[in-house]
Amino acid sequence: MIDPILQLEGLSKRYSKDRPAIFEDVDLTLRSGEYLAIMGESGVGKSTLLNLLAGLDTPDTGRVVLEGVDLTTLDDDATTRLRRRTVGFVFQAFHVLPYLSVEQNVALPLDLLGVAEPERGRRTQEMLTAVGIEALSQRHTRELSGGEVQRVAIARALVHRPRLVLADEPTGNLDARSAAQTLTLLRAQIKANAGAGILITHSRAAADTADRIVVLEARGLKALEAA
């Protein structure tokens, strides 16, 4: 196990030459077992930052070191392989595939990693049980409630036991009760996995479920104490 799991050094990103950078001088160290919330106003660049640290986009300056490997030195294929193995994503609910069953959605990351039966089925069932949706395994996700879909998304993000879990506004579409349940579950699963997690949110109540809070601003990340 390589610690820290993630290091960001002097990261900056601009989408266009004639506009100012979205953000500059972003530094961050994320250690094994840490659960971090990143807050910031809408449009400040939270999703952009998440894409950079998962190697889905490249920064203009700086380094993203994931499990000791500088992503900016890897080609696309190598980045994809590292991401599949190391990272689990929880997006807003609509990224779950509506025409697949709950079980098929959750097994997807294992398929991509070439995990075969019976191991694939065993780990999928275990994960469905862990998030409390084992009874829904054969249902299509389009028939589920928002809170149930988000459990599918969490199960899918964690089924391959990634070292780093990234959640981008995972409760944005949920009512307060489902949001609270989802956040509790997400935290518990990240801690059980002994990896690290980053929760992106504009809600202070959501951010307070993390161990530590930082705020993204144009000139970098600023620490904020967790309540």
Ligand X SMILES: Nc1ncnc2c1ncn2[C@@H]1O[C@H](COP(=O)(O)OP(=O)(O)O)[C@@H](O)[C@H]1O
Q: Does 47 bind ligand X (CB under 6 A)?
A: yes
Q: Does 171 bind ligand X (CB under 6 A)?
A: no
Count of residues in contact with Mg ion, rule CB under 5 A: 2
Cα(155)–Cα(125) distance, integer angstroms: 10
Q: How far is the CB of 185 from ligand X (least distance, A)?
A: 23
User: CB–CB of 159/129 below 8 Å?
Assistant: no
Q: Does 22 bind ligand X (CB under 6 A)?
A: yes
Q: Does 181 bind Mg ion (CB under 5 A)?
A: no
Contacting residue, 9, 14, 25, 47, with Mg ion by CB under 5 A: 47
Cα(148)–Cα(153) distance, integer angstroms: 9
Count of residues in contact with ligand X, rule CB under 6 A: 10
Q: Does 43 bind ligand X (CB under 6 A)?
A: yes
| From Mg ion, ligand X, none, interface partner of 22 (C-beta below 5 to 8 A by class) | ligand X
Q: What is the three-class DSSP state of 2?
A: coil
Strand order in the sheet with 69-70: 23-30, 6-13, 61-66, 69-70
Cα(147)–Cα(164) distance, integer angstroms: 23
Q: Does 48 bind ligand X (CB under 6 A)?
A: yes
Cα(215)–Cα(97) distance, integer angstroms: 31
Contacts with Mg ion by CB under 5 A lie at 46-47
Contacts with ligand X by CB under 6 A lie at 15, 22, 40, 42-48
